[in-house]
Structure 1
């Protein structure tokens, strides 16, 4: 595998020291999360390479985009990718775990995003570092959701992605922490395949829920119009 960067239209991602590489989950979350409410401050929890934070920097005029990464190598690579980007004056990465951040910080954000480490039911890995990064024990959903309200501005949004099998549990955990779903996107890899991922966007008030589905491919490397529309500002070949 090449050790060179993953090139997007407006920035590059170096990922040779990161267990979790650039993937569809992160790209879709970075492209799908709402920025129409013009967030002034954004937080990316479990930033990894910094991909989602960089996508949100491209999509918004947010003056402050914070990221949080606990893994030593991933933190260093995230900082490297931030510094090499056109938006380095707006991006900052904390080297800490979510529990430390919740205990020590009091900042408020207009948008919080997270592609949290999890094991999908069909996930297998022989790579210990990658497996650890994927493990739900690294950032359990209940701990993630419990901490969000402390940092969310009254009109703020929290967007995350999880295995579709966890959808009902996450919705219940969110409501238990006074987070209410505003948008839900269910994603399948190709036509006829089961839904594999659910994307959630929560707020602090009950509103009608907007529910959608997205199919990524019509055939191998033949992408749907909806997927292209979401990602065309980022992928070089879209």
Structure 2
């Protein structure tokens, strides 16, 4: 008898890395629950999946506890279980010296990048713990900035360091429950967010230089690979970046 298709929840699935990863997972046979704020953009992602009927679209905001709870309840009602959560939803802020970052800007990026990731992780963890067979995998979209910051990116850097801590805590809390967690740290995959780096990115010495990028499909393929591993295998951290991007000895 053929194995039942596995089920993945992907946040921020309307564009960029989330969209590419969702399509790649669908092509690999996964059933999908796609979550983002823009219904029309989610439909565009769904249309590029080989079996749109196996793709459930839910519009909502990762910063809303009520919305996130409803996301996971609806996912289980539709598919019966969840095997993977890709915490992809996130934002950056415009380059600003630390003393010029407003409280509202800082709070907004914390709410989306940290609170949103926590809420989705918590709800997925509950389901992984209770379902049979028990277990599941979480992949958090971190950043190279979780290890080495860019200049004038204090808010973004802070949140990605926090996600790294949550990743490790989740892996530890899930160790005896067949729940594992990965952080994928991506450097300059070509998306709308990273496109500016091709023309000029602010360097540690204050200069502006063009940086290399790489096709986002390689990130999507990596997500599919990690997701395909058995739950007794953990990839705790995975770095993938353009070869010419300054990271080791950034600047």
Task: Name the TM-score class by shorter chain.
Answer: 0.3 to 0.5
Normalising by structure 1, report the TM-score: 0.45
Query: Which is helix-richer, 1 or 2?
Result: 2
Structure number with bigger Rg: 2
| Superposition TM-score, scaled by structure 2 size | 0.44
Larger strand share, 1 or 2 = 1
